[in-house]
Every structure is written in C-alpha cells, then in structure tokens.
Amino acid sequence: MSISGLIAVPVGAPLVAAAVALVSRRRSLSGWSGIAASLAVLAAGIAIAARVGSGHVVADAHLLRADAAAAVMVIVIGAVGALATFAGVGYLDAELADGATTPAAARQYEVLVQVFLAAMSLAVLADNLGVVWVAVEATTIATAFLVGHRRTRQSLEATWKYVVICSLGITLAFFGVVILYFASIHAGASPTSALDLDVLASRASHLDPAVTRLAVGLMLVGFGTKAGLVPFHTWLADAHSQAPAPVSALMSGVLLSVAFSVVLRVRALADSALGPGFARDWLLVTGLATLLVAVSLLVAQRDLKRLLAYSSLEQMGLIAVAAAAGTRLAIAGLLLVVTAHGVVKAVLFISAGELQHVHGSSSIADLTGIAARSPLLGAAIGAGLLGLVGLPPFALFGGELAIARGMADAHLAPALGVALVLLVVGYASIVNHGAAMLLGPARAGSPAIVVSRPVAVPVVLGVAVLVVLGVVGGPYPHLLETAATVLGAR
C-alpha cells in the first residue's frame, strides 16, 4: 500500500464506517463495520510504526504527516477504539432491548462514534496546526450528543457544561493559533504554510518571543482544557460519568491523551522558540494542581463512574508533570502510561457499564459482592484496578517507573516527591473503593450478573494486552523512545 494511502486509513476507515452506519438498515452490518474500522486503524498504526520507527517521517502531499509520536497515538486510538466499539455493539443491543433508546438514536450513536474516531486520528496526523485545531474542535462536536445520549436531566447538564467549557477552552486555543500564525508570518514564513508543524519547527528561533509567549500560553491553556487540566477541568467528571460506558471509555482512554499529545507538540515548539523554562513551569504547576484536585475528589467518592473519571484526571496530572520534565525517559514513560491507561480505562469503563446496566445505578454503595456473583467480571475489574494503580506486571508500572527516573534526571525531585505522595493517596482510595465493591459476599436480593460476549471479549483482551505490554520488551519501547525524541525530549 502506498504511503499516502496508508496514512489516510486512520482517518478514512472510520468515515467509511460512519457512512455505512448512516445508510444501512441492519444493525449488525453497521456494528461490524465499526469494529472493522477500528481494527483497520490499529493495523495502519502498526504499519506506520514499522516505517517511522527509526525516526523517519512519512507524509502525503497535502494534509497528513506521520512521525513516531503520531504512530503511537494512532495505535492507542485503534486499540481503545476496537475495545470500545466491540462493547458498544452489546451496549446498544441491551439498550434497544430495554426500550431505553430508539433505533434512530442508536444509529446516531454509531455514526457519531465513528466520526469521533476519525477526528481524533486527524488531530494526531495533520501536519498543519490549524487543521489539528479543527480536528480537536470536531471531537467536541462529535461527542456532544454522545454524552447526552441518555436524555436524562443529569446528562443534559453534563452535556451543556462539557460543550460550553470545552468550546471556551478550544476557542482560546484558536486565539493562540492565530497569534502564532501572526508571529510565523513575521518570521518569514509564507502565508499558506505558516502553520505547518515542520515549518514552525524550522523557524522556531526566528519567532518573536513576546508574541510567541502569548500564543503558547493560550494554546497550552486551550488544549489543556480538552485534556482536563486545571483550571478548566470541571467538565470532566460530569461528562465522563454521564456518557454511555463505551463512549466514556473512548473519552477517558483516548481523547484526553490525544488532546495532551497536541499539548506535547506545543511544548516542543515552545522549547525551541522560548527555551525550556516557560512550558515546563506551566505544565508543572498545572500538573500538580490537577493531581491535587483529582486526589481530593477521589477520597470520598461515591459513584463508580465518577471514580474512574477522577482517576483519569489523576493520570492526566501525572502526565503533565512528566511532560514538564521533558527528558527522553520521562516522555517515553509518559507515552507508555498513555497507552496502558487507555486500555485499562476501556476495560474498567466497559465493566462499569455492564454493572450499571445490571443494577440500574453506578453508585458504589449499590455495587457490592461483585466477585462473588461473577468471577469473570470480578477478576477483570480487579486486574484493571491493580493495573490502574501501577502494580507490576501491568504496563502502567513500567511507565510510571520511567517517568520517575526521567523526572529525577531533570532535577525535578521535589515535584516528583509531591506527585508521588498525591498518587499514593489516590491509588489507596481507588483500591479501597474497589475492595468494597469486589470483595465480600453478595447482598441478598442483588441481581445476578450475566456477562455477555460483547463485554467479556474486550475486557479479557484488554487485560491480556496490559500484561503483555508490561512484560514484553521488543519493538514497542523502542518506538516510544523514538517518539520521545521526535517530541523534542532532551
């Protein structure tokens, strides 16, 4: 397959699946085409990784460009997308059987999920910062009605907050892009290519510092909003807890990371144009603040899905702190955490969705004795939670270790200490709540849990991938290190 065709697959395949879902009458066809599209994205990601693993960059003539970092993100999108679309089929079947949704709404769901995946792929593969921005805003638009899919008062409130806060943030990011365009033109770039990522990278030293500082600040805040960083984090718990479980898996697992990958690109640009201090200070402060907010809201949490959402917020705080360090080890570890977190959040959210469906509520107090009633689900959630808190042999352990070493190399030991303390408190809360849910006898009268195939398959596969990633070395860590170099690690 030619290069330009290969790069177009991650964007094109989901769009084709969306078109199929739009016109097809048979749900099985649209369901399977959606899963096939995500697997195609994953396969394309692996193929691209094979070509760019040694540091090359592949590009097509106009719009798309793939380097090692983009390949990593495409792999994450494909993997989590496959898990989520598989579970999504079962989710929609269950909802239609319960009469909680209509066929038209189900079709809208499928179309929007595929458009969402295509937009995320475009955001990581576009070579023009303006097009990246358009793609990130498109993800907000695609997910707006997904968050509000269930038409309850609470989901409406969550949707409103999500759309308003994310649009505000992303509009500020657009302001930053406009100002950067201004600076780029004055540094001598031609108007049509002034926002191309490689043009910006090559002219970074000529950009006017004061104007670039304005632009970078706005972009960090703006794209950080979509990544859930303080101070615009208030939409995250509401949106992720009110959305349908497979959508929450996608948003928590991938969307936050895709937004953060854009922050990483901005960070690389800031480092070459302004020196390392500016982005590092901001990322450190906001990362630690996000960690603090997330952990304080994890401790007394009473709702399972909000617990998972705040744990995602915690991970994003850790990732921001790691990005502040900026060494190769830190950024490679960050990318490994991104991959592992995506998979584990998908597993956990899909399981949580199943539990919510069975019990009619996602409150932790209602969900007791899970392991006693369903060994499969109990084991999966247990493994997922252990993986989430960074225990070996799951992959998050390796990632967090690398981040810790990377931060020590970057002389950020005090910040590392604070972050570790906060992380430990957060993890303890998660384990505490998890144990309350999983262990112990089932309460009398709780419904039996029958795990359907669309839930069981992704969940088991996800845990397996997590173990494999954590144990096996090989090409993936090498890809991560190349990606770190591409992203301007020192």
For binding to another protein (CB under 8 A), which residues are involved? 128, 130-131, 133-134, 137-138, 140-141, 144-145, 148, 151, 153-154, 156-161, 163-164, 167-168, 171, 174-175, 177-179, 181-183, 185-186, 191-192, 194-195, 208, 210-211, 213-214, 237-238, 241-242, 297, 300-301, 306
Q: Cα separation of 81 and 341, whole Å?
A: 13
Our CA dihedral for 272, 332, 231, 263, rounded to 10 degrees, sits at 40
Select 180 or 254, whichever has its Cβ closest to another protein: 180
Cβ burial, residue 23 (10 Å; 0-12/13-18/19+): exposed
Q: How far is the CB of 183 from another protein (least distance, A)?
A: 7
Select 185 or 464, whichever has its Cβ closest to another protein: 185
Q: Cα separation of 371 and 468, whole Å?
A: 24
Q: How far is the CB of 205 from another protein (least distance, A)?
A: 16
Select 279 or 380, whichever has its Cβ closest to another protein: 279
Strand, helix or coil for residue 230:
coil
Select 163 or 403, whichever has its Cβ closest to another protein: 163
Tracing tokens 């304080």 back to the chain, one arrives at: 296
Q: Cα separation of 296 and 301, whole Å?
A: 9
Select 305 or 357, whichever has its Cβ closest to another protein: 305
Q: Cα separation of 243 and 150, whole Å?
A: 8
Select 99 or 191, whichever has its Cβ closest to another protein: 191
Select 234 or 452, whichever has its Cβ closest to another protein: 234
Select 214 or 379, whichever has its Cβ closest to another protein: 214
Q: How far is the CB of 306 from another protein (least distance, A)?
A: 8
Q: How far is the CB of 8 from another protein (least distance, A)?
A: 17
Q: How far is the CB of 142 from another protein (least distance, A)?
A: 9
Q: How far is the CB of 127 from another protein (least distance, A)?
A: 12
What is the DSSP track for 240-286?
A: HHHS-HHHHHHIIIIIHHHHHHHHHHHHHHHHHHH-THHHHHHHHHH
Two structure tokens written together for 18: 């969306």
Instruction: For Cα atoms 258, 195, 266, give the angle at the middle one, nearest 5 degrees.
Output: 40
Q: How far is the CB of 158 from another protein (least distance, A)?
A: 6
User: Is the distance from CB of 55 to CB of 483 less than 8 angstroms?
Assistant: no
Select 306 or 433, whichever has its Cβ closest to another protein: 306
Strand partners for 58:
66
Q: What's the distance, CA 441 to chain centroid?
A: 35
Select 16 or 211, whichever has its Cβ closest to another protein: 211
Q: How many CB atoms lie within 10 A of CB 171?
A: 15
Q: Identify the H or E element spanning 313.
A: helix 304-325
Two structure tokens written together for 23: 């016109």
Q: How far apart are the first and last CA of the chain?
A: 35
Select 266 or 465, whichever has its Cβ closest to another protein: 266
Q: How far is the CB of 339 from another protein (least distance, A)?
A: 29
Q: How far is the CB of 175 from another protein (least distance, A)?
A: 5
Region of residue 208 (left: phi > 0; alpha: psi -120 to 50; beta: else):
beta
Q: How far is the CB of 125 from another protein (least distance, A)?
A: 15
User: Is the distance from CB of 276 to CB of 490 less than 8 angstroms?
Assistant: yes
Q: How far is the CB of 190 from another protein (least distance, A)?
A: 10
Select 23 or 210, whichever has its Cβ closest to another protein: 210
Q: Cα separation of 416 and 414, whole Å?
A: 5
Measured CA distances, 46 to 78, 141, 226, 259, 468 (Å): 10, 28, 26, 21, 16
Two structure tokens written together for 224: 């950080």
Q: How far is the CB of 248 from another protein (least distance, A)?
A: 14
User: Is the distance from CB of 13 to CB of 40 less than 8 angstroms?
Assistant: yes
